[in-house]
Amino acid sequence: MGGLRDETETNPDKRFDIVAKRGPKTTPTRKKKLLGNPGKRKMPENEVEPTLPPGVPPAPKDLTGYAKKEWERLAPELYAVGLLTNVDMTAFLAYCVCFGQWIDALAGIKEFGTTEITKSGWKQQSVYYTIANKSMQEMRKWLIEFGMTPSSRAGLVADKPKPKSKADKFRARKKKNG
């Protein structure tokens, strides 16, 4: 009885593999609204959307160096367009950590170069070069998720959120007046 055999017959662990969802990723409703609902499909009415924090969230205490500077640079922008909700903090933190690693790796490349000589005398790619490349790949994924690349934000239309408290109104006025 020849032919193809089901892999689950020979490997029982394969029965529990999870198959990824096919097709493009679902675009969050908030992002669809920012894009102006390009597909003109009916938007979900009762979709549970994560809440915005009461103000721009401060950088986590453990975040340091360039990663912290990146948080402080981008968090207000993402908050202003409603893309930095309570559930987005971990994803944004991951982006900032990748950014910090990338900058640190670039410093290592500047100091030691893109290649190194092994003990046996062979030339190989520098560890810093590898870290920089991997961090850049990860950063790009996070940038796309948050609409921070030209193509991922093409067509975004954002309404500025209204200040939620008197303190937010004061900060907005102070920032506007310099």
- Structure confidence by residue, pLDDT tens digits, 4-32: 555 555 555 555 555 566 777 667 676 77
Residue 49 lies in a domain: no
In angstroms, the first-to-last Cα distance of the chain is 81
What is the count of structural domains for the chain? Answer: 1
**What are the structure tokens assigned to 62, written together?**
């453990």
Which domain, by its residues, includes 159? 55-177
Q: Is residue 50 part of a domain?
A: no
Q: For residue 34, is it within any domain?
A: no
Q: Tell me, yes or no, whether 22 lies in a domain.
A: no
114 touches 127 (CB < 8 A): no
Q: Do residues 95 and 69 lie in contact, with contact meaning Cβ atoms separated by under 8 Å?
A: no
Q: What is the mean pLDDT of the chain?
A: 81
Per-residue pLDDT tens digits for 31-62: 777 777 777 777 777 766 778 888 899 999 99
Name 153's Cβ contacts closer than 8 Å, sequence gap at least 6.
Answer: 147
Q: Tell me whether residue 37 is in a domain.
A: no
The Cα–Cα gap between 162 and 171 comes to: 12
Q: Are 82 and 52 in contact (CB under 8 A)?
A: yes
Given this model, what pLDDT does residue 49 score? 73
| 29 found inside a domain | no
Each residue of 76-108: pLDDT tens digit? Answer: 999 988 888 888 899 999 999 999 999 999 999
Residue 107 lies in a domain: yes
Structure-block tokens of residue 143? 């940038």
